A and B are shown apart, each in its own frame.
Chain A
Amino acid sequence: MRLCTGVGAELAVMDVPVIEITADTGRKRYAAEVWRARNLIFLFTWRDTAVRYRQTFAGVLWVLLRPLVTMAIFTLVFGKFLKVPSGDTPYALLILSGLLPWQFFAYGFSGVGDSLFRYSSVISKVYFPRIIVPLSAFAGNVIDTLVALMLFVPLMLYYDIAPSWRLLLLPVVFAAAVPASLGLGLWFSALSVRYRDFMHITPFLVMLSLYASPVGFASDVVPKHLQDYYWLNPLVGVINAFRWVLFDVPFEPPVNGLLGSVLLSACLLVFGYLYFRRVERSFVDVI
Chain B
Amino acid sequence: MDVLTVEGLSKRYVIGGSNDGHAATSLRAAIGRSVSRTFGTERHAGEERGKHEFWALKNISFEVAEGTRLGIIGRNGAGKSTLLKIMSRTTEPTEGRLLIHGRTASLLEIGTGFHPELSGRENIFLNGTLLGMTRDEIKRKMEAIIEFAEIEEFLDTPVKHYSSGMYVRLGFAVAAHVDPDILLLDEVLAVGDLQFQRKCFGKMQELGDTARSVLFVSHDLSAISALCNRCILLEHGRLVFDGTPAEAILRYYEHNVTDHGELDFEQRGVHVGDSDAQLLGAEIALMDGKPALEADIREPFRVTLRYRIMTHLDGPTVPNVHFYRPDGTCAFVALPEGARNLGPGEYRATVIIPGRFLNEGMYSIRISLTTFFGTHHKTHLALPSALMINIRDPRDGTTGRYGYGGQFPGAVRPRFEWTIGEE
Contact A5 B132 (CB under 8 A): yes
Contact of A7 among B93, B122, B132, B181 (CB under 8 A): B132
Contact A26 B103 (CB under 8 A): no
Docked Cα-Cα span, A127 to B85, in Å, equals: 10
A190 to chain B, nearest CB (A): 10
Contacts A20-B98, A51-B115, A54-B117; is A124 near B93 (CB within 8 Å)?
no
> Is A78 engaged at the interface, CB distance under 8 Å to the other chain?
no
The digit string for A180-195, where 1 denotes a CB below 8 A from any CB of B, is 0000000000000111
Docked Cα-Cα span, A126 to B113, in Å, equals: 9
Contact A18 B132 (CB under 8 A): no
Contact B89 A25 (CB under 8 A): yes
A62 to chain B, nearest CB (A): 15
Contact of A195 among B24, B96, B108 (CB under 8 A): B24
- Which residues of chain B come closer than 8 Å to A262, judged between CB atoms? none
Docked Cα-Cα span, A27 to B117, in Å, equals: 35
Contact B92 A195 (CB under 8 A): no
For chain B, which range describes its interface: under 10, 10 to 19, 20 to 34, or 35 or more residues? 35 or more
> Is B242 engaged at the interface, CB distance under 8 Å to the other chain?
no
Contact of A197 among B26, B89, B92 (CB under 8 A): B26
Contact of B92 among A8, A9, A25, A54 (CB under 8 A): A25
Contacts A16-B102, A195-B30, A196-B24; is A40 near B91 (CB within 8 Å)?
no
Docked Cα-Cα span, A195 to B86, in Å, equals: 25
B128 to chain A, nearest CB (A): 10
Contact B22 A194 (CB under 8 A): yes
> Is B370 engaged at the interface, CB distance under 8 Å to the other chain?
no
Tell me which of B133-141, B297-305, B323-331, B359-367 binds A. B133-141
The digit string for A154-194, where 1 denotes a CB below 8 A from any CB of B, is 00000000000000000000000000000000000000011
Docked Cα-Cα span, A196 to B28, in Å, equals: 11
> Is B112 engaged at the interface, CB distance under 8 Å to the other chain?
yes
User: 10 extra interchain contacts, Cβ-Cβ under 8 A, other than A7-B130, A126-B88?
Assistant: A12-B103, A21-B87, A21-B99, A39-B134, A47-B115, A50-B122, A123-B90, A125-B90, A126-B112, A128-B130
**8 smallest beta-carbon distances between A and B, as pairs:** A127-B89, A9-B132, A282-B22, A10-B134, A21-B98, A197-B27, A22-B97, A19-B100
